[in-house]
């Protein structure tokens, strides 16, 4: 397989960073996951898109195929270990390898005071995020280990780092993911596997709905962002993920990267 693809536009030559690489994206049918899929496809990656809604995945796959990407759709629930194993097995069956794993999928119920968090809120948020991230990481490990390389990108949140009100279950889940990622980076670095975390500030349909229901939050959030705007799922978040999945980031691991326009400065 070719390691890169060059094409010329005018006098410029561009090399696709992820040509012939295979990436799994959870929650790849909507929101940030869809933006990430677009960016990875643009950079030449073959994609495995997984999520709970078949129709959204199918629509996303059609779009990615139009961008020139080979796409496999695997409906599944990140809360289910068997679904995680099946996703990786089908990826190997179709493409023969997995070079990158992007654990984006996450369910949550924002705006709930900690004293009002129910068992269902807690379980759904924790299992869809922390458990799902662990299940997929464990499923890809043997294959990345055999390859001697791989990139894993997980998702944290400013809500956990700063302890924002109304995000108890979500904040706990995202901090759990950050801790898990650091341990994996330590343990799996010997196999050439990088593990990093992104904390995004992206304007997705779900975020838009929350901000419309809480207009004061929109004003406050924007006032905190140095660049004065929310991130774009593809052009801002997706491009950062593509970089971390590329060979350009082979010496970056165990890091938390805030892709939020300067809302948080660690």
DSSP assignment string, 48-107? EEEES-HHHHHHHHHHHHHTT--EEEEE--TT-HHHHHHHHHHHHHHHS---EEEE----
Tokens of 246: 């590329």
Lowest mean pLDDT among 7-11, 112-116, 140-144, 235-239: 7-11
**Which sign does the torsion angle of CA 195, 259, 121, 161 carry?**
positive
Cα dihedral 112→118→121→122 (10° resolution): 110
Inform me whether the pLDDT recorded for 3 exceeds 60. Answer: no
Whether 170 sits among the annotated catalytic residues: the reply is yes
Question: Helix axis angle, 31-42 relative to 54-66, nearest 10°?
Answer: 20
- Calpha distance 227→101 (Å, rounded): 29
**DSSP assignments along 196-232, one per residue:** EEEEE-B--HHHHHHHHH-HHHHHHHHHH-TTSSPBP
Start-end of H helices in 148-195: 158-162, 168-188
> Is residue 4 very low, low, confident or very high in pLDDT (cuts 50, 70, 90)?
very low
Q: What is the pLDDT of residue 12?
A: 66
Average pLDDT over every residue of 198-205:
91
Average pLDDT over every residue of 231-247:
97
- When comparing pLDDT for 254 and 5, which is higher? 254
Q: Are 105 and 155 in contact, with CB atoms under 8 Å apart?
A: no
User: pTM for this structure?
Assistant: 0.92
Catalytic residue among 170, 191, 210, 221: 170
> CA nearest 87: which of 25, 4, 180, 17?
25
Cα dihedral 198→193→143→127 (10° resolution): -30
Q: What is the pLDDT of residue 1?
A: 42
Average pLDDT over every residue of 200-223:
86
Average pLDDT over every residue of 218-225:
90
Pairing of strands 150-155, 193-200: parallel
> CA nearest 246: which of 69, 65, 47, 99?
99
Classify 244 as helix, strand or coil: helix
Q: In what order do the strands lie in the sheet with 71-75?
A: 71-75, 46-51, 22-26, 100-103, 150-155, 193-200, 256-259
Inform me whether the pLDDT recorded for 217 exceeds 90. Answer: no
Tell me the domains of the chain and their CATH numbers. 15-204+233-258 (3.40.50.720)
Inform me whether the pLDDT recorded for 204 exceeds 90. Answer: no
pLDDT, one tens digit per residue, over 27-67 is 999 999 999 999 999 999 999 999 999 999 999 999 999 99
Inform me whether the pLDDT recorded for 220 exceeds 90. Answer: no
> Is residue 11 very low, low, confident or very high in pLDDT (cuts 50, 70, 90)?
low
Classify 147 as helix, strand or coil: helix
Start-end of H helices in 96-167: 119-126, 132-147, 158-162
- When comparing pLDDT for 218 and 51, which is higher? 51
């Amino acid at each position: 397989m070719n390691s890169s693809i060059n094409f010329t536009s005018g006098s410029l030559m561009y090399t696709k960073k992820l040509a012939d690489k295979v990436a799994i994206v959870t929650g790849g049918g909507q929101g940030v996951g869809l933006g990430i899929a677009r960016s990875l496809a643009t950079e030449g990656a073959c994609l495995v898109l997984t999520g709970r809604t078949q129709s959204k995945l199918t629509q996303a796959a059609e779009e990615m195929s139009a961008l020139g990407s080979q796409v496999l759709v695997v409906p599944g629930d990140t809360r289910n270990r068997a679904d995680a194993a099946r996703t990786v097995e089908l990826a190997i069956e179709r493409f023969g390898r997995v070079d990158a794993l992007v654990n984006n999928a996450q369910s949550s119920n924002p705006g709930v005071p900690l004293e009002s968090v129910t068992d269902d809120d807690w379980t759904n948020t924790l299992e869809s995020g922390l458990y799902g991230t662990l299940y997929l990481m464990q499923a890809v490990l043997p294959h990345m280990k055999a390859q001697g390389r791989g990139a894993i990108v997980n998702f944290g949140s400013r809500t956990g780092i700063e302890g924002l009100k109304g995000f108890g279950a979500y904040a706990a889940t995202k901090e759990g993911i950050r801790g898990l990622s650091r341990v994996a980076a330590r343990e799996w670095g010997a196999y050439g596997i990088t593990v990093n975390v992104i904390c995004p500030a992206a304007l997705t349909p779900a975020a838009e709905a929350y901000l419309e229901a809480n207009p004061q939050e929109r004003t406050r959030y924007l006032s905190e962002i140095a660049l004065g705007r929310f991130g774009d799922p593809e052009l801002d978040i997706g491009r950062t993920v593509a970089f971390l999945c590329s060979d350009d980031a082979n010496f970056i691991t165990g890091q938390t990267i805030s892709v939020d326009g300067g809302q948080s400065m660690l």
